[in-house]
Each structure stands twice: as C-alpha cells, then as structure tokens.
C-alpha cells in the first residue's frame, strides 16, 4: 500500500523538525510548509534545504494567504501542525484556525493532527489563569476541527523530556544540577516524560492508523511515569552523588506569580498542574483515547535513565 503524503506545518520548530525526520524515516512522501515570512532567517532556510536534500518537498504558503494554504493541503493526505505554543518561545495556536479553514475547503485531507503535544486540554477545564490560555486556545482549535467534520488525532505527549528532565522538573532550569534540587510539594506526584524524538515517532505511527481516528493518543511509556523524587534518584545514581534537597509548598511556589512576566506566569501554572496536582497521570484513559506504547510496542522508546545520560 502506498504510504500517505504528509504535510508538516511548523517543520523547523523544536518539535516540528523531529516530526519531519520521523516522517522521512518512515518513508512518507513528506511536504513541509515554507513560509515566505521567515525571510532571511538563515538557520530556518538551511534546515529546510537540508530536509529537501533528504527527500522532502518544500511548499511555499503563508497564513496570510488562504489560497496558498488550500493549495498546500490539497497536495497531501495528512496534515500535522507543530506551530508554536509555549509562551516563553512564542504562542500561535489560534493561527491554526486558518489552517482548519483551508483543510475544510480543500476537502481531501484524511487526518489532521493539530499542534497539541502536551497536557490534554479537554481535561483542563478548571485550570488556573493565565496558564489556561494554552488549553483554552487548543480547545478552540479542536472545536473548529470537529465542527468542520475534519478527521483528527490529538496527541497528548505529556512532558517534553528536554524541558522537564533536563531541569529535574524545576521551572526555569533545563540542565540538571549536581548539587541541589528543590522538590515541588512532596515531590511524589507522578508525571510522564517523553523524549521529543519518540513523540515524533509515535505521532507518525498514528497518522494513518484507524485505531487513532478521531481519538486522543496519549503517550505513556510505562517506565517514564515517575515522580520528581524518582527522577532525582535516577540522576543521583548516574552522578554517584546525593543532591541537597529542599521543598517548596504550593503556596510558596505560586507566591511570586504576580511579579512575573506574562510568559513566565503561564509556565508557572503549567508546572503547578503537572507537579503539584499530577494532572498528567491521575486519570485512566477512556473510550476517547488510546495509549501509544500499547498500540506500538515495537517502538523502542528512550527510558528516563538513558535520556539523562546526555547530561553527564
């Protein structure tokens, strides 16, 4: 059977570039949206050219030009969007409404995977502001997709390993200390950590799988469902040394909120829900979802201990 043609939007991004690589590695005819607005961003241009040399097709289209988006999506079967959605970098989740309009008009797309790749926004109806903007915007996009009758898969990827493991689950850190760590609350809430390359691999596996049609795919690699204390223990074993530990109550964690920049406030809220409330692992996956490591046991995902060896 011919492999489906895939368009990746946001293909030069932190996650998007990995999705491009996974799509090429899986033998899909891979198209990448090339936005004229990137102008003289030499690193993006260089990355796009390198993907072209590996066999990808570059398709010029702009979010400011509806026709160009329609023409781009008409060339493929599947659209994956990895547009930005982290305020400390940039947040353009609602721009996807233009992509939804284009997909609806084109009428040929068999599956759309919007830029999600985090906490399941459908479970965050009571989330704290201003961080809830991420979930609210992703739900606005979901509503538009479903009202347009576009077949979809939502990927709930939980914690990107680079952000959470790198910093031993501490906000504002992406490299692990060899001296000390602040435990959030009792440090015992479970979270789920996924190597970004594995997120891309599972995403590409799901795109034409009938089992993930109109469902949420939750990434829960069983060995990577760990508390902050367990992550710290793994790191301590790797460096052969115990870290000095202090703890931070939820009140102490939230107290600096009002003095922070907006983007930092959003991040603080997200860490709060993950590390103090355990929002990623405190529910069973229901009828509306599937779990990736069960669907694709052949994926040799990176366990936390192996991931953390890169910091030695």
Which residues form the catalytic set?
138
Residue 64 vs 252, nearer CB to ligand NDP: 64
Q: Which helix (H) or strand (E) holds 291?
A: strand 289-291
Residue 276 near residue 189 (C-beta atoms within 8 A): yes
Q: Where are the alpha helices (DSSP H) in 171-227?
A: 196-206
Which residues, 6+ apart, have CB-to-CB distance to 1 below 8 Å?
Answer: none
Minimal distance in Å, beta carbon 114 to ligand NDP? 8
Q: Would you tell me how many other CB atoms lie within 10 Å of the CB of residue 60?
A: 12
User: Of 111, 118, 206, 207, which one interacts with ligand NDP (CB under 6 A)?
Assistant: 118
Euclidean distance between the first and the last CA atom of the chain, given in angstroms as a whole number: 44
Which residues, 6+ apart, have CB-to-CB distance to 168 below 8 Å?
Answer: 176, 177, 181, 228, 231, 232, 235
Show the site string, 119-158: x = touches ligand NDP by CB under 6 A, - = not.
--------------------------------------x-
Residue 16 vs 131, nearer CB to ligand NDP: 16
Residue 38 vs 255, nearer CB to ligand NDP: 38
How many whole angstroms separate alpha carbon 94 and alpha carbon 262? 18
Residue 248 near residue 184 (C-beta atoms within 8 A): yes
User: Of 7, 15, 155, 231, which one interacts with ligand NDP (CB under 6 A)?
Assistant: 15
Minimal distance in Å, beta carbon 244 to ligand NDP? 27
User: Of 52, 67, 92, 294, which one interacts with ligand NDP (CB under 6 A)?
Assistant: 92
Q: What residue ranges bind ligand NDP (CB under 6 A)? A: 10-16, 33, 35, 38, 44, 63, 82-86, 89-90, 92, 95, 115-118, 157, 159-160, 163
């Amino acid at each position: 059977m011919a492999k489906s043609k895939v368009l990746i939007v946001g293909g030069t991004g932190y996650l998007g570039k990995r999705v491009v690589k996974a799509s090429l590695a899986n033998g899909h005819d891979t198209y990448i949206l090339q936005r004229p607005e990137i102008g003289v961003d030499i690193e993006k241009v260089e990355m796009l050219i390198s993907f072209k040399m590996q066999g990808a097709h570059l398709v010029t289209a702009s979010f400011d030009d509806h026709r160009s988006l329609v023409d781009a999506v008409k060339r493929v079967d599947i659209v994956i969007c990895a547009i930005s959605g982290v305020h400390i970098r940039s947040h353009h989740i609602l721009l996807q409404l233009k992509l939804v309009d284009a997909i609806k008009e084109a009428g040929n797309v068999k599956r759309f995977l919007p830029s999600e790749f985090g906490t399941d926004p459908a479970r965050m109806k009571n989330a704290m502001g201003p961080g809830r903007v991420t979930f609210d915007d992703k739900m606005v996009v979901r509503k538009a997709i479903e009202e347009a009758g576009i077949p979809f898969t939502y990927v709930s990827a939980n914690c990107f390993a680079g952000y959470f493991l790198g910093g031993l689950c501490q906000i504002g850190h992406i490299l692990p200390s060899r001296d000390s760590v602040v435990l959030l609350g009792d440090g015992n809430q479970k979270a789920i950590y996924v190597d970004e390359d594995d997120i891309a691999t599972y995403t590409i596996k799901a795109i034409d799988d009938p089992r993930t049609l109109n469902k949420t795919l939750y990434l829960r690699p069983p060995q990577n469902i760990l508390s902050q204390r367990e992550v710290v223990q793994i790191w301590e074993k790797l460096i052969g040394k115990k870290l000095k530990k202090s703890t931070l109550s939820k009140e102490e964690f939230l107290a600096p909120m009002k003095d922070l920049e907006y983007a930092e406030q959003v991040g603080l809220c997200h860490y709060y829900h993950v590390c103090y409330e355990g929002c990623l692992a405190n529910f069973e996956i229901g009828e509306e979802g599937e779990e990736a490591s069960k669907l694709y046991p052949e994926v040799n995902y990176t366990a936390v201990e192996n991931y953390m060896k890169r910091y030695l």
